[in-house]
Amino acid sequence: MKQRTIANVFTLEGIGLHGGKSSRLTFRPAPGNAGIVFSRAGRVIPALPHKVVDTRRGTSLEGVAVVEHLLSAIRGLCIDNIEIEVEGEEVPGLDGCAVRFVEALEKAGTKQQRPEKRFISVLEPIRVSDREATLEVRPGRGLKIDFVVNFPGIGEQHYTFNAAKQSYKKEIAPARTFGYVEEYEALKQESLARGASLDNVLVLSKDGYVNTPRFPDEMVRHKVLDLIGDLALAGRALRAEVRAVRSGHKLNVEMARLLYERAQQQGGK
């Protein structure tokens, strides 16, 4: 199996979910083995775990905030190499999920490259935890994610995504980020959620949904979306079975770091 990059240059513009400021992304093909690379004001920022500076309500790299939805779309479409030039401070939130990134990437098309696709193969279980949250990666032939969440006013949601049998675009990409209406003012005081609205966020209250979910289990599907994006920071596609219970960006990035270290040990395999 060969690596792939996009076939054509394109741009996207929008407002950041947290900062509420406009930004513009320009996507360009990248050479084989380049990986996913951001650039901003002449600075090159590879999408790798050691470049993560914040996991509070999103995953932010040095110089580029809230990258997980875009990374999820790139990895969900099996794109290996791409360059994204950022004008602004934050990746646009668009509709709060990954579907518009997917549509734009599909429109640009992809092309095959000479190098063989590189995978991270997990040979033994890897587990990280933080209080009630756990994230475990086990050996597998493809990518399979089993996720369980439990939120006040909603209860438990459980979803399993098998990348070989299900469509990322249909089942995962449309699931929006979510938040509680009771937290909104406090988040704005912390310079968060300033670009959030009923159009790009699934809003909850202690009594249930404020706006209509796209799926009965949209929250856990979005957690799968985030996890795919965060694990993209490992630098290669993952062959593994993943089991997540209440995992968030902090734990996801910790796992990506461990996987990245194993990828370096595996070399070109």
Catalytic residue annotation: 249
Angle of CA points 153, 227, 14, to nearest 5° = 85
* CA-based R_g, the chain, Å: 17
- What is the sign of the dihedral through the CA atoms of 19, 244, 168 and 175? negative
User: Three-state DSSP class for 202?
Assistant: strand
Q: How far apart are the first and last CA of the chain?
A: 13
CB 79 within 8 A of CB 87: no
In angstroms, the CA 206 to CA 41 distance is 43
In angstroms, the CA 117 to CA 2 distance is 5
Q: If you search the block for the tokens 């910790």, which residue do you land on? A: 254
In angstroms, the CA 120 to CA 233 distance is 12
Assigned token pair, 236: 């290669």
Q: Give the closest residue to 257 by CA, choosing from 234, 229, 224.
A: 234
Helix axes 68-76, 99-108, angle to 10 degrees: 50
